[in-house]
């Protein structure tokens, strides 16, 4: 089990999942530093946190030197596919992700790249559902990228438990309305329902120690989270 101090970079720390991961990283004594990269500041203040604001996340040249010496990248950036053209969705989902992964591979060979995907992702890249195809293409490219140890996390429904909030208004409203039903959904669909804490702890454990599976469905990372100290 890894006990050496780790340095991590986090993309999407202001989103609901990213907030959960940032919280666990800041609480974990084995995480030495966290570089949070996004379009706006996290608003968090901690001795081991450094915020970097990049209006254009397609150009990482100004911070690529900061990728050197990293142990792990938590990649949580994403956008809803609703009403979005495939080329625009691919630009955010595939292009931005691969830009970050390539920078990490160049500067920190062997680092672990932990990617937030989703239940239903299409690894064949040939299905009818646009977002699933693009996510599948992104996963496949990451898994085949030399110089990286990549892991895909495919959550279904995620319940925020420590005040994490979605940056999208309609999503926040939905969570507020359906939060009382979480125990019911958890009982009926235990393999598809998780919490921000459970997901973040599983990702942190894999970032430290690696794992057998490279694609983790909800039931897989739930098991990993339960074995976390």
- The pLDDT assigned to 75 comes to 98
pLDDT of residue 155: 93
Q: What is the pLDDT of residues 70-121, one digit of tens each?
A: 999 999 998 888 889 999 999 999 999 999 999 999 999 999 999 999 999 9
| 6, β-bridge pairs | 31
> Are residues 73 and 100 in contact, defined by beta-carbon separation less than 8 angstroms?
yes
User: Each residue of 119-137: pLDDT tens digit?
Assistant: 999 999 999 999 999 999 9
Which residue from 85, 80, 146, 76 is spatially nearest to 117, judged by alpha carbons? 76
Given this model, what pLDDT does residue 80 score? Answer: 84
Structural domains of the chain sorted by starting position, each given as residue range(s) with its CATH number in brackets: 6-226 (3.40.50.720)
Residues of the chain with pLDDT under 50: 1
What pLDDT score does 1 carry? 46
Cα separations in angstroms, 25 against 46, 60, 223: 11, 23, 19
- pTM for the model stands at 0.91
Quote the CA–CA distance of 221 and 41 in Å, as a whole number.
28
Give me the pLDDT at residue 222, please: 86
Question: What local confidence, expressed as pLDDT, does residue 88 receive?
Answer: 95
Please state the three-class secondary structure of the chain as a single string.
Answer: CCCCCEEEEEECCCCHHHHHHHHHHHHCCCEEEEEEEECCCCCCCCCCEEEEECCCCCCCCCCHHHHCCCCEEEECCCCCCCCCCHHHHHHHHHHHHHHHHHHHHHHCCCCEEEEECCCCCCCCCCCCCHHHHHHHHHHHHHHHCCCCEEEEEECCEEECCCCCCCCCHHHHHHHHHHHHHHHHHHHHCCCCEEEHHHHHHHHHHHHHHCCCCCEEEHHHHHHHHHCCC
Which backbone phi and psi does 32 adopt, to 5 degrees? -80, -40
For the chain, how big is the Rg over CA atoms in Å?
A: 17
């Amino acid at each position: 089990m890894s006990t050496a101090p780790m340095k991590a970079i986090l993309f999407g720390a202001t989103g609901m999942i990213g907030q959960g991961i940032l919280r666990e990283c800041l609480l974990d004594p084995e995480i030495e530093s966290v570089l949070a990269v996004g379009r706006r500041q996290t608003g968090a203040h901690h001795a081991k946190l450094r915020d970097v604001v990049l209006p254009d996340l397609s150009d990482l040249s100004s911070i690529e030197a900061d990728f050197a010496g990293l142990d792990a990248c938590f990649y949580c950036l994403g956008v809803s596919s609703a009403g979005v053209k495939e080329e625009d969705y691919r630009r955010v989902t595939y292009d931005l992700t691969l830009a970050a992964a390539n920078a990490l591979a160049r500067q920190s060979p062997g680092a672990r790249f932990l990617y937030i995907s989703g239940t239903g992702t299409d690894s064949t890249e040939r299905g009818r559902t646009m977002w699933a195809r693009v996510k599948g293409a992104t996963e496949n490219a990451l898994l085949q990228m030399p110089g990286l140890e990549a892991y895909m996390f495919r959550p279904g429904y995620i319940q925020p438990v420590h005040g994490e909030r979605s940056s999208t208004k309609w999503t926040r409203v939905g969570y507020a309305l359906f939060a009382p039903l979480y125990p019911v959904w958890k009982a009926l669909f235990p393999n598809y329902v998780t919490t921000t804490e459970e997901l973040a702890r599983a990702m942190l454990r894999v970032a430290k120690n690696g794992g057998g599976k490279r694609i983790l469905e909800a039931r897989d990372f739930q098991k990993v989270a339960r074995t976390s100290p």
